[in-house]
Amino acid sequence: MVKKKELEIHTVIVDGKPSNFRAALSRSILGVTWVKFKRRKQAFYQHRAHNLAITQSLFNWLYESLLTHLRNLSRYKLKTDLKPIWSESGEIQAISDVTVSVYMRIGQLQVKELQVYGESKSVKIDLFYSEVDFASKKLRSQLPDLIESIGKGNSNYHEYDFSNSEGQKMAEAYDVKGTPTIVINAENRLENPDEKELRQEIERAFAPVVKPIDEPQFTFDPDAESTIESLVNILKMKV
């Protein structure tokens, strides 16, 4: 029994013009085929003409099928999902599970420039702990690995014993009422957080914010209205 190989392929979304649709199919199918079987050399290269013909035939059949449902495909965008089935040497023998998705562009949002704000170069982490409670011990054991994972140079870490005068003074300054408590950047207090919550809050402290320097502009596609009207008429005919 001859072995066959298959792989799911997804093309990029392209304009519905014939040349664009054909190019997307060819790049995806023939490109993946070449990467997958190029090591077979002559055994693979002998299938070149065959694979080109199969890809062209697939394009013709798919495009003609789409045109029976939509008159002007250039108004739309297309994306294809499929599974080529190859022989051991890379000959395309069949194509299964073919789906062509049709999209319509309504409009576009345009932003001239986005600037980055609030990026933290170093996160200040203060732990208030007690020598007598288990939760404090557990949190102190977790913190070194957590700090190591985000990079030691990216954090400024301090520990304060809640039972001594220095710890009490700092706890009062940060409005810390009990242990264990983590204070991030002197403002975000986490009382006995689990590891997941603590990691999320520390990573959030690093996160920059992007903002536009001017007002974003949204414009509707000039063909959107006529395309929608065309679709409505098609759907009415099918009811």
Q: Which tokens in the block code for residue 228?
A: 């929608």
Please write the tens of the pLDDT for every residue from 140-195.
988 888 888 777 677 788 999 998 999 999 999 999 999 999 999 888 899 999 98
Lowest mean pLDDT among 49-53, 55-59, 190-194, 223-227: 223-227
Contact 190, 125 (CB under 8 A): no
pLDDT at 1: 43
Nearest to 81 by CA among 59, 97, 61: 97
Please write the tens of the pLDDT for every residue from 189-213.
999 999 888 888 887 777 667 888 8
Residue 20 neighbours by CB under 8 Å, 6+ apart:
14
Over residues 106-116, the mean pLDDT reads 89
